[in-house]
Structure 1
C-alpha cells in the first residue's frame, strides 16, 4: 500500500480551532491526511496584542482569510520599574474574529470543521472515540445527543490550550498566577494598549475601536489575598485607579460588571506526545503572558507537529525518534520563553521583597537566556530533524548556545563544514579549506566564512 493510500485511511481529529490547532490541521492537510477539527467558540470577548513577528508566524502557518481584516498597529505604552516607554506598537486583534477566520481557512483547505464542545474522549483499540456535548453542531443538528454516535479517530491532537484536561500527565508548573479580565465601556476611540507594573502584579489594558476597554490585572495566587467574588470588581477597580497608565482607559468609561478569572500559570507538559496522540500550543506548554507573544509561542510547537504525526503514522520504526524530537523542542521552547519572563520580572526592582516579584525573578532557573557561543563547544552529533515532512536522524552541529543543533545554513549542511575546519592543517585559512576540501565556490566560501566568524563558530586569530 502506498503512503498516499495509507494517509487516506488515517483520520485525525484536532480538539481546538485556535492558531495552534489550526496550524497543525493545515500542515496535516498538506501531507494528505483526512482531518476533522472540533472548535468551541470562545466563551467571552477577548482582545490580544500581537507583534509583527506573530503576524509573520501566522502567515507562515498558512493562514490567509484569518488575516484579511486585521487592523493597523496601534500605540502601546509600557510603564515598568518607574520608567515609561511609548516607542512600541502592537496590533490589537479580536480573538473571536481571528478564530472565525481560521475556521474559514480550514474549510478552504478541505478540513472538516465542527463547531461544538468536546465531551468524553476515550481511547480504543483502534484509536480514539470523541463525543460532543452540544447537540446543535454541524453533525448533530437532527439528532439528540443521546443518539449521536461518537467520532472516531486514528490519531488525536489536543489543542484546547490551557483548558485542555491534564489527562494524568506529569507537568512542571511555575508560580501559580491568575489574571482577572474586566470590561469597561466608553465612547468609540482609537485603539491603544498599555502595560504597567504595580506592587502586587502587573496590568495590561486595551481600548477597542467600539469603545470597549479590556483591563486585566495579574496576581500571585498564594500571596494576593484577593477578596470574595462579590468584592472582586471593586478591588480591581481600586487598583486601576492608582495606575497612571490606566487613566486613559477608565476616563469617561464605566465598568460593565463582568469579570473573568483565567489561570496564567506557566505549565510544561512533561509528556507532550505519544504513539497516537500529541499536544500542541498551550496544551503542550503555556508560559507567562507577560511577553505578549502567546500566539507565537503556541505556533512554535504546532508548526513542528505535522512532521511528527506523519512519522508516528507512516514510520512506526521511528516513533521514538519522533517523540524525542518533539519533546526536546517543547522543553527547549518552554524554558526559553520562561527565562525571557524571568529576566523581565527581574528588571522591576522597586518591590524586591514582594512575593509576586521575588518568586518570578528566580524561576525557572539561573541559566542565562543567551550564551555567547564558545568555538570549542562545537560538536557534530546525530539528532532528529525535520526532512521532507518526516522526522529523520541526521548529523547536526551543536554549540553551547544551540543544544538542539543546526543542520543546514542556506542549504549548506553544517556537519561537513565543521569537520573540515576542525581537521584542517595549521596555517590553512578557513576560506581556503572550504574551497579545497568541500569544493565551494570562492563567493560561497567567503560568505560562509564571514558568518562563521560573526557567530563565533571560528576563533578570531590574533
Structure 2
C-alpha cells in the first residue's frame, strides 16, 4: 500500500473528495498545490474501454497528471462512417478505464492527497465538517469542505436539463493482436463506437434510445444480432471471442445543480454528464475541476464571497454543458438518412434552445483570477457571452481605460499602454489586436463605449 493510501480516514482534512476519476483527481492536485490537505475516497469501478479526446489528455497534462497521460498512450487513428460518407478525423486516445483510474490515483498521491479505498454508504455532517462512512460505519474520510465527484453514481440532485434518454450497450471481445484504432458509424436506430487495442481486445458499443432497450435477460442476444446486421461492426470483431456478456449503462445528457454551498460542491459527471457523441466528457470534467479549485479556494479564504462563487459555478456548469450538447447536436443533425426515425429525430431537436449569446459590450462577471473567483469587468460578444477578462495576461478593460490618457498614433499605443499597465509592449500589442478584431477598438485609435 502506498504510504499516502489508507483504508480508514480519521484525520480531518481541509477538503474531502468523493471519487477518483479525472474530475476528482485534477481537483485534488490543484488543491494540494494551493496548500490544502485533501483526502480522496475512491472505490473500484467496472471495467470499460474509453476514448479520450486530444484536448482531454492535454488538460490532464496541464494538471500535472503525468501518470494518466502516460496511461493514455499515443492517439489512435479514427474513422467515421456518417451520412453515407467515410472520413478520417483527429485521433483519440483509447484507454482501459481501470488502468487510467489507477494512474490518476498515483497522480493524486504524488501531488500530496491522502487516498482511501472504500464504498461510501452514508455522509454525516457535523459542526466541524463532513464524514464519509462505509456500510459498517467505519470512517473512510473527513473534511471541512465536501466535494462530490462520484459521477453518475452520486446521489442525484434535481435535474436542470435532460436530453433524450440514451443507453450505451457494450461488449468486449478478444482476438489477434493488431493495430490501435477506433471508428464510429451510424445506423437506423443509433450509432456504434468501435475500438481496438494492440493486445487484441476489441469493443463494440451501441448507443440507442432508452425506449428501444431490450430486456436485460436478452441484452447479449440483442447486441449480437445488431452487430451481425452491421457489416462494419461484424467485420470489426470477425474471428474474435466474446470476453463476457453485453453490459448497459446510462448515457443520457443531464445537467444538475452543482449544489454549491459554503462547504459543499458537486463536480464532473455528478454535476453534469454529456452525450458520448459530443466527445466532451473527460475534457469537461477536467475543465470543471480547474474552475472548482478556484471556487473551493475562494470559499475557504472568504465565505462572504459565496454569492459570486455560486453565480460563477452555475454559469460555468451551464456553459460547459451547453457547448457539449451543441457539439453532439451538430453530429446528430449531420446524419440525414434517418432523420424521421425516433432516435435521430429526438436528438436533432435537442437541445431546444441555441447556445446563449450576449450583446457586444462590457459587463461585470465572476471570473477566476489567481486561483480565486472575483467579480471583474469583462468584454462580451455574441460569440463569447461569458466574456473575456484578459488576452495573454493583459486585462482588457484596464487596457481600454489606459487609453483615456489621450490619443496615440501608430506604434506608440502598445508602448504607452504597456508603461501604464506595467506590461511588455508585445503582449499589449496582441491584446490590442484582439480588441480591433472583436470591434472594441475600431482602427486601434479610439476607445468605444460599453
TM-score normalised by L of structure 1 = 0.86
Q: What's the counterpart of residue 24 of structure 1?
A: 27
> Whole-Å Cα distance in 1 between the matches of residues 387 and 215 of structure 2?
50
Query: In the alignment, which of 181, 200, 203 is matched to residue 170 of structure 2?
Result: 181
Residue 447 (structure 2) aligns with: none
How far apart are the structure 1 equivalents of 2:338 and 2:283? Answer: 30
Task: Please say if 1:316 is aligned against 2:303.
Answer: yes
Shift of 1:181: 1.2
1:347-388 Cα distance to aligned partner (Å, 9 max, x none) = 11011111111111121134258x7xx9xx432222222222
Equivalent position SS for 1:360: helix
Change (3 A) 1:299 1:447: closer
Aligned to 2:143: 153
Aligned equivalent of 1:193 = 182
User: Which stretches in structure 2 are left out of the alignment for 5+ residues?
Assistant: 1-10, 445-450
Partner SS, residue 393 of structure 1: strand
The aligned counterpart of 1:12 is: 15
Once the two structures are superposed, residues 294-331 of structure 1 have per-residue CA deviations (whole angstroms, 9 ceiling, x without a partner) of 21111111111111011112201111111211111011
Aligned mates of 1:229, 1:183 — CA distance in 2: 17
- Superposition RMSD in Å: 2.6
The CA deviation at 1:285 is 1.0
Q: In the alignment, what sits opposite 1:239? A: 226
Instruction: Report if aligned partners of 2:12, 2:141 keep a CA contact under 8 Å in 1.
Output: no
Whether 2:260 is the aligned partner of 1:258: answer: no
Q: Is the 8 A contact 1:195 1:245 kept in 2?
A: no
| Cα offset, 1:55, TM superposition | 1.4
Q: Secondary structure at the match of 1:303?
A: helix
Asked if 2 retains the 8 angstrom alpha-carbon contact of 1:66 and 1:101, the reply is: yes
**Equivalent of 1:211 in 192, 196, 200:** 200
For the residues of structure 1 that align with 2:50 and 2:280, how far apart are their CA atoms?
9
Aligned length: 431
CA–CA separation in structure 2 for the residues paired with 1:83 and 1:422? 55
Shift of 1:452: 3.0
Single out whichever of 389-398 and 31-40 deviates more from structure 2.
Answer: 389-398
- In 1, distance between residues paired with 2:55 and 2:437? 24
Q: Distance in 2 between matches of 1:103 and 1:437?
A: 46
2:408 is equivalent to residue 408 of structure 1: no
Is the Cα contact below 8 Å between 1:266 and 1:287 reproduced in 2?
A: yes
Which residue of the other structure, out of 391, 394, 406, is the alignment partner of 2:373? 391
Aligned residue among 223, 231, 254 for 1:267 = 254
Question: 1:446 deviation in Å?
Answer: 4.7
Deviation at 1:61, TM superposition (A): 1.4
Partner of 1:3: none
Please show how residues 280-359 of structure 1 align to structure 2 within 5 Å.
280-359=267-346
What is the alpha-carbon distance in structure 1 between the residues aligned to residue 319 and residue 379 of structure 2?
A: 17
Unaligned runs of 5+ in 1: 1-7, 134-144
For the structure 1 residues 129 and 322, does the alpha-carbon distance in structure 2 shift closer, same or farther, using more than 3 Å as the test?
Answer: same
- Please state how far the C-alpha of 1:232 moved relative to its aligned partner: 1.9
What's 1:85 paired with? 87
Q: Post-superposition shift, 1:67?
A: 2.3
Normalising by structure 2, report the TM-score: 0.88
**Displacement after TM superposition at 1:132 (Å):** 1.9
Aligned-residue offset at 1:421: 6.8
Asked if 2 retains the 8 angstrom alpha-carbon contact of 1:202 and 1:218, the reply is yes
Alignment of 1:220-231 (within 5 A): 220-222=209-211, 224=212, 226-231=213-218
Q: Distance in 1 between matches of 2:81 and 2:375?
A: 47
Residue of structure 1 aligned with 2:36, choices 33, 37, 40: 33
Contact 1:380 1:418 in 2 (8 A): no
